[in-house]
Each structure stands twice: as C-alpha cells, then as structure tokens.
Amino acid sequence: MKKSKNEKTWERKKTSSGYQIGKFSQNKSILIVCEGQTEEKYFKSFDVVSLKIECVNTKGLSKIQLIDFCQKKVEEYKDKLQ
C-alpha cells in the first residue's frame, strides 16, 4: 500500500458519529464497485447505520470483466432476496 506524508481526510475521523448501532433497520443495500484500494478505504470509512454498504475492490479488471463482475454480484443479491 502506498504511504503518503499527508493523512487522508477519511482517516482523520477518530470519534464516533453519535448514532446508536441497532437503532435503525438495514432495509436498503448499496454495492459500490471500486477500481483501487483508495476508493475502497474511502467508502468503508463512513459510519452509516441505516444502510448496508458493500464496497468491492476490483483490482484493475478490464471493462468487460468489470461488467461481468457487476452482473454476477447483482444475481447473487437477487438470489439472497428470494
């Protein structure tokens, strides 16, 4: 992992957001497909309790592989709902 002298904005937050875990039901899900580690870490840094967020690092897939990956993830999600 690349190290930099400057701390990333999303890594600075050290305190809790104040939301009570378990207070909200997770009825909605969001799938975020990223191309690298930086984007994945950025989205995983959010403390969102009302949504289920899954962030996936595709690690440099080609455009066609990326589309196939997303289609498979959508099908997996649909299978979970049934």
**Using one digit for the tens of pLDDT, what is the confidence trace for 13-52?**
666 666 565 565 556 778 888 887 888 888 888 877 777 7
Q: Looking at residue 59, what is its pLDDT?
A: 84
Alpha-carbon distances, residue 4 vs 1, 7, 8, 38, 54 (angstroms): 10, 7, 9, 12, 26
Closest CA to 76 of 34, 41, 29: 29
User: For all residues of the chain together, what is the average pLDDT?
Assistant: 76
Of residues 32 and 9, which shows the higher confidence score? 32
Closest CA to 16 of 42, 40, 48: 48
Q: What percent of the chain has pLDDT over 90?
A: 6
In sequence order, the 6+-apart residues with CB closer than 8 A to the CB of 51 are 26, 28, 29, 30
Q: What is the pTM of this model?
A: 0.54
